[in-house]
Structure 1
Amino acid sequence: MSELGQMLRKARLDHNISLEDLQEMTKIRKRYLEAIEDGNFKVLPGNFYVRAFIKSYAEAVGLDPNEVLQLYQNVLPAPEQEQIEPIRTKRTSRNSEKIGKWASNVMMISFVVLILGAIYYYLNTNYNGGQRDANVNEEPKRVTDKVETTNPSVNNNTYQVPVADNAAVPATPPPTPPPPQAEVKLVKSQGGTDYYAVSNASKLTIEMNVTGDACWFQIDSLGEKKETLEQGTYTNGKSQKWELDNSAFMIFGRSNAVELLVNGTAITVGDTPNAKRIQFDLQKG
């Protein structure tokens, strides 16, 4: 077993991930995963896939893929370069004739439309001018409106209740200010992990919904000591909710297969089928 394979295998075992779970997380066949751990890269379908498979493996077990590839770049085979022949386009005289006929038709139609537009504009202008002249010759009509005024003091249907000068007017209580809304904010991304700060909340409420085919996950409680609450593979449509009194750490095998809500705020997990690590720090006080 190579040194690279030993490091990857140790990281997988530290996260209690079996080869079957890793195959589901990365969509890489089990025999290819075993070949990577054994350092037998000839089993893989080609040199191009060696780096891609190792990168997916490292992300799934919580390692920085770029650091792994940089550390063992001398051990990995060089990727094959594909030779792409330029595509030559041929223009035939028949296509040129079709384009010429099409351009002539367009010019003819445009010329006809221009003439019709000019005729319409001329007729419409003369018609509107005649209408304005006819309206000028007409005398405006006078309308006389009679408005009857009434004395409000004579209206018998209105009754006003007298109010004493020293009468107490009930005061309107001030509105109660709403409680501060929980705020979830991305603080930094370091070492392949996104760190979020959760403020204005006494508890951490996490809701997960699997929208893809399946997703392996793990959630840890970060209290006085780190404790794994749950781990496994959820299929499409499966939902789960956790309430914690302290911070939490989560790992997702396929980041684009889940939707995540933290204290009512949607969290962007990822848009690629790669592993993702997120830590939510609950800030009390």
Structure 2
Amino acid sequence: MQEQSTGAMLAAARESAGLTVAQLSANTRIREVIIQAIERDDPAENDFYTRGHVKAIAKAVGLDPEAVVHVYDQQHGGAPPPVRASDVFRADRGVRLGERRGPTWTTALGVALAVVVVFGVVRVMGGESDRVRSAGVQHATSAPKVPPNRPFTEAPARPPRQAMAIAKGDLVVVKVKAKRSSYLNVHDAQGRKLFSGTLKAGASSTWRAASKVNLLLADAGAVSLQVNGQDLGRIGDRGEVVRRSFGPGKQRAR
């Protein structure tokens, strides 16, 4: 199966979100002609801003920006090399040192004397006011007052979220095994990142979260899944970008 291009993926996600090119342009402040070129996989040659446009468009249509840029880099020969500062900032002409005049010794001596005078005036005017008088001060204790015949008890500690999830039976366990290297992005129900990176070929990893696990696969055909002990196998084809959410209990097949 032919791998889906980044432009086709972004166009499909935009249509799925019910957005026109004009609406997407208004949301991202990216010109329509640029969006259309990216969706045709025909961005401007050596465009320094293309990766940033791809990331902004992916976020606006509901895709994971980092995952989409990762796929874009793989399809376009890898991430661009860093730009050296010396290549960006080039002086058109040399600086003639003779034109710059530094401060004279007379000016520096005058500034130093002014600082000394100000410091002395502050010390004289301050007197003893800058000393802390602690005589006769009683330090109050911070122990709480407990009413008579009522023992003081600490508030019970709240159990962690995962322990509560286990007690209610809504813990989600997702295990991913990679047949070949693939980029993954894993979040819990609150949007907290559990993992973001490349799972190498032959490796496997397991994540646990309360209520839901959100998973994005940059190459769904490269990995197999097991959710809550249920073997789901592959949930997509080679090169297919897939987003899935898993909750507690039995999961639907692909």
Q: Give the TM-score normalised by structure 2.
A: 0.40
The structure whose residues are more often strand, as a share, is 1
Tell me: higher relative CO, structure 1 or 2? Use CA pairs within 8 A at least 6 residues apart. Answer: 1
